[in-house]
Amino acid sequence: MTEGMWMLLADESKQAAAVKAANDYTQKFGLVLNEEEASLLFAERREILKKQQRVEFGEGILPKLIFAFCDSPYIYQDNYAETLGRLQEIFYFYKNESMDEFTDDELIEAMKDLFDGECQGSLDYLEDTGLERLARNARYGLVSNEVEADDF
């Protein structure tokens, strides 16, 4: 087994444990990822990171997205895994687009506020409108390192 493959397997093992722990919490919202869905999300993460030319260590962003979005009125068990996959993709895209001006937590908070507010659960609107303004402001130095409601 190559060194890189060993690291991927160890990383996915940590991710699986984090998702399982998150399931214990999200169950009260009627949301649970099964092993197949979790594996698919891990594979999507690898592809997104490659596409966005990013490197990430640790458990990844998925557990943070799970905890941040599990209480959204726009997420149901039927769309849960698909929505998380899209949120992962949007997150990494806008980390690049905002030139890493925001911490992971700040970007997730902005995503959640927009998703539950102005976007009313629309991932397309979140990606194409709300976060685009935030990233544009970051690129032009119009925002501080902390995300404010006025930034979007």
pLDDT bin (cut points 50, 70, 90) of residue 101 is confident
Domain ranges of the chain: 3-151
Q: What number is the average pLDDT over the span 15-33?
A: 92
Prediction pTM value? 0.82
pLDDT at 152: 45
Averaged pLDDT score across all residues of the chain: 84
Chain segment 71-99, per-residue pLDDT in tens: 999 999 999 999 999 999 999 999 888 88
Q: Which residue has better confidence, 1 or 133? A: 133
At CB < 8 A and 24+ separation, what contacts does 107-114 make?
A: 107/147, 108/61, 108/64, 108/65, 108/68, 109/68, 109/147, 110/134, 110/147, 110/151, 110/152, 111/68, 111/87, 112/68, 112/69, 112/72, 113/149, 113/152, 114/152
pLDDT at 38: 93
